Amino acid sequence: MKIILLGAPGAGKGTVAKRLTALDGSVQISTGDILRGAVQAGTELGKEAKGFMDRGDLVPDSLIMGIMEGRLQEADCKNGFLLDGFPRTIPQAEALKALLTKLGIKLDMVVDIEVPRDVILDRLCTRRTCENSQCQAIYNVKSMPPKVEGICDKCGSKIIQRADETEAAISHRLDTYNEKTAPLVGFYRTEGIMKTVTGTSSDAVVEAIKSELGM
Ligand code: ADP
Ligand code: ZN
């Protein structure tokens, strides 16, 4: 499948994407994961992105398009991909459209995952992430704790609260989402491939996407 997942921070894009990859071998492409990996590795990209990310601001479109232009041409995208956290602005959506046309790729669907703001806030404050950039598994201290406190089930690394998951940065990220990313719903509705899923449970969202794709 070739799908874009839209939805506010904390809507469950990453969790839904990971479950969908298990269905047909599509890969999850999370620009947030790629950027956090670059920050941790101390690459030029990471150095440029870090300040924006820590404040909860968007990284400039040009950096993101540089990443995605290369990523979408890697061999593992042949089986399909789930874009998680990209595009995030109208210029990114326009650049993606041109890139997909150039590569001869057609999207199946754009899914907007709608979750009430109070649920989102609660989730983000209790979310924890594996610090190993190769893993970045997601946990939740309330609803999905690791088996051993503070330790990743999958790789044994430490589980941390992200630098941009303070209350101030979270609230700024939600405002940024409403201002810059929410307009993409209108953009893709015009394209005729938009599907809105209301879901407080990621299972329900996965099921809705499967049935939409006839799986
Ligand atoms: P969340 O969806 O929880 O906000 P992400 O992991 O998708 O988190 O993104 C974390 C941060 O990485 C964002 O706040 C932003 O600074 C940066 N980022 C990720 N994807 C993009 C993108 N497509 N455009 C601009 N900035 C991005
Ligand atoms: Zn891990």
Superfamily of domain 2-26+79-213: P-loop containing nucleotide triphosphate hydrolases (3.40.50.300)
**Residue to probe by mutation, ligand 1, list 45, 88, 136, most atoms within 8 Å of CB:** 88
C-alpha 152 to ligand 2 mean position (Å): 5
From first to last of its 215 residues, the chain has per-residue pLDDT tens of: 999 999 999 999 999 999 999 999 999 999 999 999 999 999 999 999 999 998 889 999 999 999 999 999 999 999 999 999 999 999 999 999 999 999 999 999 999 999 998 889 888 999 999 999 999 999 999 989 999 999 999 999 999 998 888 888 888 999 999 999 999 999 999 999 999 998 778 899 999 999 999 99
Cβ burial of 134 (10 Å; 0-12, 13-18, 19+) is: exposed
Measured from the alpha carbon of residue 93, the closest ligand is 1
Angle in degrees, CA 155, 44, 102, rounded to 5: 90
pTM for the structure as a whole: 0.90
What are the structure tokens assigned to 167, written together?
Answer: 């209350």
Give the list of residues 6+ apart from residue 65 with CB closer than 8 angstroms, or none: 92, 95, 99
Enumerate the domain spans of the chain.
2-26+79-213
N-terminal to C-terminal alpha carbon distance within the chain: 10
